[in-house]
Amino acid sequence: MTPGRGERSTIPGAYRIIPYAGLPANGLSGRQQESLLRLVKTYAQRLPDGPAAAFMDSIERHLDDTHIAWIGGSGDNDAFYYRVHSPVVLIEYDCHQGVFLDNDEPEPFHVHTIVRTPNGGDYGRDLLRQHLARHHPQQHAGR
């Protein structure tokens, strides 16, 4: 990971540019790329079949531009963080110490995850302006 990530800062700001970090997927072996796609599919499975297939197609098309970063342990009881980041997805998985829990260190049983689709996917797009321009062009012309 790059310096400056911040200690356990999970939630990326909607307008913050998050640099790629970690290993580029195009440098992974075929088997490692398959493992990465299986990992991403665990998030896609929460979608209905059609959107899940479209999501995975998009991920596969951008696999060469995808990076995976890991911080932490790899044992069964270790806390860890990972990020899968490409032009079409940002996935973060982060073990936390908890606000109300009395844990000094992050714990593997307190997990936060984020799945975002940057670059006009789920944030950063002015949907109201697009709607007004498309469906109310006369009213929108002076704005």
Q: What are phi and psi of 138, to 5 degrees?
A: -70, -40
Domain residue extents for the chain: 23-140
Whole-prediction pTM:
0.70
- pLDDT computed for residue 9 by the predictor: 40
Q: Are 55 and 44 in contact (CB under 8 A)?
A: yes
CB atoms within 10 A of CB 48: 7
pLDDT tens, residue by residue, 29-71: 999 999 999 999 999 999 999 999 999 999 999 999 999 999 9
Neighbours of 30 (CB within 10 A): 7
Return the pLDDT at 100: 61
Please, what is the Cα angle at 2 between 34 and 59, to 5 degrees?
30
Q: 93, 103 in Cβ contact below 8 A?
A: no
Residue 39's pLDDT is 96
Check residue 114 and give its pLDDT: 87
The residue ranking higher by pLDDT, 128 or 91, is 91
Strand partners, 93: 82, 113
The reported pLDDT for the residue numbered 30 is 96
pLDDT tens digit sequence for 69-126? 999 888 888 888 999 999 999 999 888 766 666 666 666 667 788 888 876 555 556 6
Beta bridge mates, 127: none
More confident call, 11 vs 126: 126
- Rounded CA separation 72/96 (Å): 12
Residues forming beta bridges with residue 113, ordered by sequence position: 93
In the chain, the amino acid numbered 69 is: A
The pLDDT value recorded for residue 75 is 86
